Amino acid sequence: MKRHLTATLAAMLLAAPALAEIMVSDAYVRSSTPTSASGAAFMTLMNEGAEDDRLIAVSSDVAARVELHTHSEDENGVMRMSEIEDGIALPAGGMHHLARGGDHLMFMGLTGPLEQGSEIAVTLTFEKAGEMQVMIPVDHERKPDHGAMKHSD
């Protein structure tokens, strides 16, 4: 019996290499006006795997380019967006919130308006977990989370 279990476990390990497992939750995308040429997406990323991982690239058919952005305060106290150069780290068992006033996915050069209630297909590329496609609902009415950092939006 014990030998049988061991063999089963070995088969399972062979069938499922130790890839990082990323969960995406609470995602939405919005633009500041219906005719904006850019939009931003927010979500919670959870690394449920045993390996550290990193979100390194994002793409979507609805935009010419998708960048990883963060907000930071410049020397005059003004919040500015800038590109995150080396990706978003997701330690094993860790969680990262993309939220208004903080890190976000920036959609540049939208091919058309983001229609309220529709969904867009987005490909997230992780260093270890590889490519993952997610459907993100368009929600222009969503208010920033109460728990989020308090920045003017």
Enclosing H/E stretch for 10: helix 2-15
Report CA Rg, the chain.
Answer: 18
Nearer to Cu ion, 84 or 92 (CB): 84
Q: Least CB distance from residue 65 to Cu ion, whole Å? A: 11
Nearer to Cu ion, 31 or 44 (CB): 31
Enclosing H/E stretch for 26: strand 22-30
Q: Least CB distance from residue 60 to Cu ion, whole Å? A: 14
Tell me which residues touch Cu ion (CB under 5 A): 69, 81, 106
Nearer to Cu ion, 54 or 71 (CB): 71
Nearer to Cu ion, 22 or 41 (CB): 41
Residues 113-131 as b/e (b if ≥16 CB within 10 A, e otherwise) read bbeeeeebebebebbbbee
Q: Least CB distance from residue 124 to Cu ion, whole Å? A: 16
Identity of the residue numbered 19:
L
Q: Least CB distance from residue 105 to Cu ion, whole Å? A: 8
Q: Least CB distance from residue 69 to Cu ion, whole Å? A: 3
Nearer to Cu ion, 104 or 128 (CB): 104
Identity of the residue numbered 130:
G
Closest CA to 89 of 48, 123, 47, 61: 47
Please give the structure tokens belonging to residue 123: 């490909």
